Structure 1
């Protein structure tokens, strides 16, 4: 038992801290995600309406899929920036775009899984469909779309954490820190006339 406790809380204690930070960031992302969904649901078309048909199939993309995707994009950017600066602190090891692309790829994978869960929870013929008797959309608390969105986020968040830790942020944290951009002070070290002139101009500034 003592060995197991050491393995979980000492050897892997840092991972628990990362998970806690990731969870806090994810919690804020959930609020952002739900806020976008609520806003689009209030201002947009009926969420059950058909947005577009899938070619060569009997299935449709419905507006709640569109709402969820728009919310994903906004929350994904929010989560990435906070995770980059705070959770994994990788902003000094890689450029923004180079790190965001794998983060977006992981997010898209989780989002596709989430869209499947969302469909199962909202489709009336699904065995996982939320009960329309209780979730009758009579209030925000009883709106099926909001609960389905929350459930799919909770289910897909652990997948996102594992993939992002093992791939997105782990790969860049192993690199050396990016060198700081040269400033006017660095010009004094360089003996070239151009560097000396740049340093002189900086020194004359008020």
Structure 2
């Protein structure tokens, strides 16, 4: 039991701190996502109206797919900036775009999964659709789209956290995959420091050899 406690709360305490920060950013991102969704829903056509049919299927791309994607893009940018400057604190270690494109790629992967789930929650023929009787769109709190989007966020967020921690911020920050696990940071940086010291000592010894400074030797 003591070893388990040490493994979870001592060796990986930094991981828990990262998860807490990521969760705080995630909560703010949920609010940004939902606020954006409400705004675009009010400004655009009815969210259940079809836009274009999906070839070979009975499904359609509907306005709620567009609204969900717009909300995702706004919240994704919001979350990235906060994670970059606060959660993982990598703003001094990598260029903005070099971190944003993998963060966006991870987010888009999650969004694709989310759109599939959103469709299943909204489509009345789906076995997991939200009941139109309970969620009859009569008020904001009973709007099916809002609750479906909230469920999608809850499902996709843990996947995004793992992928972003292992790839976007750790590997991009130092080009060193070992830093994906914060428990390895000190060891990796120590090794790099030892290599730098050894290289400096070698240069000094080489500079002390005859002929290195005297062009006539």
**What TM-score, normalized to structure 1?**
0.83
Note the 1:36-185 alignment, pairs <5 A.
36-174=36-174
- Indicate the residue corresponding to 1:183 in structure 2: none
Q: Distance in 2 between matches of 1:163 and 1:67?
A: 25
Given that 2:76 and 2:107 are in contact with CA atoms closer than 8 Å, whether structure 1 keeps it comes out as yes
- Indicate the residue corresponding to 2:2 in structure 1: 2
Please report how far the alpha carbon of residue 132 of structure 1 lies from its aligned counterpart in structure 2 after TM superposition: 1.0
- Indicate the residue corresponding to 2:196 in structure 1: none
Please report how far the alpha carbon of residue 58 of structure 1 lies from its aligned counterpart in structure 2 after TM superposition: 2.6
Given that 2:52 and 2:61 are in contact with CA atoms closer than 8 Å, whether structure 1 keeps it comes out as yes
Question: 5+ residue gaps in structure 1?
Answer: 177-206
Bigger CA radius of gyration: 2
After superposition, what is the alpha-carbon deviation per residue over 1:99-118, rounded to whole angstroms, capped at 9, x for unaligned?
A: 10100000000011111111
Q: Distance in 1 between matches of 2:167 and 2:17?
A: 18
Given that 1:25 and 1:82 are in contact with CA atoms closer than 8 Å, whether structure 2 keeps it comes out as yes
SS of 1:52's equivalent in the other structure is strand
Given that 2:48 and 2:62 are in contact with CA atoms closer than 8 Å, whether structure 1 keeps it comes out as yes
SS of 1:108's equivalent in the other structure is helix
Q: Distance in 1 between matches of 2:146 and 2:169?
A: 30
- Indicate the residue corresponding to 2:11 in structure 1: 11
SS of 1:61's equivalent in the other structure is strand
After superposition, what is the alpha-carbon deviation per residue over 1:86-107, rounded to whole angstroms, capped at 9, x for unaligned?
A: 0000111111111101000000
Given that 2:98 and 2:172 are in contact with CA atoms closer than 8 Å, whether structure 1 keeps it comes out as no
SS of 2:156's equivalent in the other structure is helix
Which ranges of 4 or more aligned residues in structure 1 deviate by more than 6 Å? none
Q: Distance in 2 between matches of 1:126 and 1:150?
A: 18
Q: Distance in 1 between matches of 2:55 and 2:94?
A: 40
Given that 1:88 and 1:169 are in contact with CA atoms closer than 8 Å, whether structure 2 keeps it comes out as yes
Which one is further off, 19-28 or 52-61? 52-61
Given that 1:93 and 1:175 are in contact with CA atoms closer than 8 Å, whether structure 2 keeps it comes out as no
Question: 5+ residue gaps in structure 2?
Answer: 177-217
Q: Distance in 1 between matches of 2:56 and 2:124?
A: 22
Does residue 29 (structure 1) correspond to residue 29 (structure 2)? The answer is: yes
Q: Distance in 1 between matches of 2:114 and 2:20?
A: 22
